[in-house]
Amino acid sequence: MKKILSFSEFVQLTEAFDFKPEGYQDRITSKQPIKAILASPKMNAMHKWAKQHNENFELNQKPPESNLMKQYVIGKTFELAATGSPDYKKAVFDSYKNHSSSLVGKSKDYDDFVKQSYTSLSKDVDRQFDTLPMKLHYHDGEDEYSSSAEMVKDVHHNNNLNVFRGGEAHTFSKTDRRSGLTTNEKFRAVHDASHAINGSQFGPKGEEEAWFTHSQLFSNKALPAMTAETRGQNSMVNYTPLNLTNMKAMAIHRAEAARANKLGDSVKENYHKDQVRQIGRNWNYAPQRAVVLPHEMNQADFTGDVPKSIKHLLRDPRAEQNSQYDSKADHLGIVALSRHYHPDEWHDVATKLARVHGFRSVSKDVLKEDTSLQLRTVSPEEFHAAIQPSLNTDRGEANLTNHPIEHYHKAKRLVLSHDNESGYAVFGDNEFGNLFSRVKGRGSDLVKHAVQTNPGVHGNAFDGYLVNLYKKHGAVETKREANWTPGGPDVVHIKFPK
Do 432 and 331 sit in the same domain of this protein?
A: no
- Distance between CA 103 and CA 113 in Å, rounded? 9
Q: Is the pLDDT of residue 168 over 70?
A: yes
- 278 lies in some domain: no
- 458 lies in some domain: yes
Over residues 288-299, the mean pLDDT reads 97
Do 332 and 210 sit in the same domain of this protein?
A: no
Residue 495: beta bridge partners?
A: 458, 476
Q: Is the pLDDT of residue 22 over 90?
A: no
Q: In angstroms, what CA-CA distances link 114 with 104, 223, 292, 322?
A: 10, 11, 6, 37
- 170 lies in some domain: yes
Do 201 and 57 sit in the same domain of this protein?
A: yes
Q: Residue 126 sits in which domain range?
A: 1-243
3-state SS of the chain? Answer: CCCCCCHHHHHHHCCCCEECCCCCCCCCCCCCCHHHHHHCCCCCHHHHHHHHHCCCCCCCCCCCCCCHHHHHHHHHHHHHHHCCCHHHHHHHHHHHHHHCHHHHCCCCCHHHHHHHHHHHHHHHHHHHHHCCCCEEEEECCCCCCCCHHHHHHHHHHHCEEEEECCCCCCCCCCECCCCCCEHHHHHHHHHHHHHHHHCCCCCHHHHHHHHHHHHCCCCCCCHHHHHHHHHHHHHHHHHCHHHHHHHHHHHHHHHHHHHHHHHCCHHHHHHHHHHHHHHHHCCCCCCCCCCCCCHHHHCCCCCCCCCCCCHHHCCCCHHHHCCEECCCCCCCCHHHHHHHHCCCCHHHHHHHHHHHCCCCEECCHHHHCCCCCCCEECCHHHHHHHHHHHHCCCCCCCCCCCCCHHHHCCEEEEEECCCCCEEEEEECCCEEEEEEECCCCCHHHHHHHHHHHCCCCEEEEECCHHHHHHHHCCCEEEEEECCCCCCCCCEEEEECCC
Q: What is the pTM of this model?
A: 0.72
Domain boundary among 222, 243, 264: 243
Q: Note the Cα 256 to chain centre separation in Å.
A: 19
- 295 lies in some domain: no
Do 358 and 395 sit in the same domain of this protein?
A: no
pLDDT at site 29: 62
Q: Is the pLDDT of residue 12 over 80?
A: no
- 88 lies in some domain: yes
Do 221 and 146 sit in the same domain of this protein?
A: yes
pLDDT at site 372: 52
Would you put residue 330 in left (φ > 0), alpha (ψ -120 to 50) or beta? left
Do 188 and 239 sit in the same domain of this protein?
A: yes
Do 335 and 383 sit in the same domain of this protein?
A: no
Range scoring the smallest mean pLDDT among 58-67, 102-111, 175-184: 175-184
- 274 lies in some domain: no
Amino acid at 248: K
- 54 lies in some domain: yes
Do 354 and 432 sit in the same domain of this protein?
A: no
Domain boundary among 331, 347, 368: 368
Over residues 27-54, the mean pLDDT reads 87
Q: Is the pLDDT of residue 8 over 80?
A: no
Do 199 and 342 sit in the same domain of this protein?
A: no
- Distance between CA 79 and CA 314 in Å, rounded? 10
* Sign of the CA dihedral running 234, 239, 245, 248: positive
Q: Is the pLDDT of residue 11 over 80?
A: no
- 437 lies in some domain: yes
Which pLDDT band, with edges at 50, 70 and 90, does 108 fall under?
Answer: very high
Half-sphere exposure of 427 (CA within 13 A, CB side): 14
**Which CATH number does the domain housing residue 474 bear?**
3.40.630.30
pLDDT at site 483: 84
Q: What is the pLDDT of residues 400-447, one digit of tens each?
A: 778 888 889 989 889 988 778 899 999 988 899 899 988 888 888 899
pLDDT at site 16: 40
Phi, psi of 422, deg, nearest 5: -145, 155
Amino acid at 317: P
Do 73 and 165 sit in the same domain of this protein?
A: yes
Over residues 192-196, the mean pLDDT reads 96
- Distance between CA 466 and CA 471 in Å, rounded? 9
Burial label, 114 (beta-carbon count in 10 A; 0-12, 13-18, 19+) = buried
Number of domains in the chain: 3
Do 224 and 117 sit in the same domain of this protein?
A: yes
Over residues 135-146, the mean pLDDT reads 87
Domain boundary among 243, 273, 295: 243
- Distance between CA 203 and CA 378 in Å, rounded? 25
- Of 90-99, 172-181, 272-281, 465-474, the range with the highest mean pLDDT is 90-99
Do 12 and 87 sit in the same domain of this protein?
A: yes
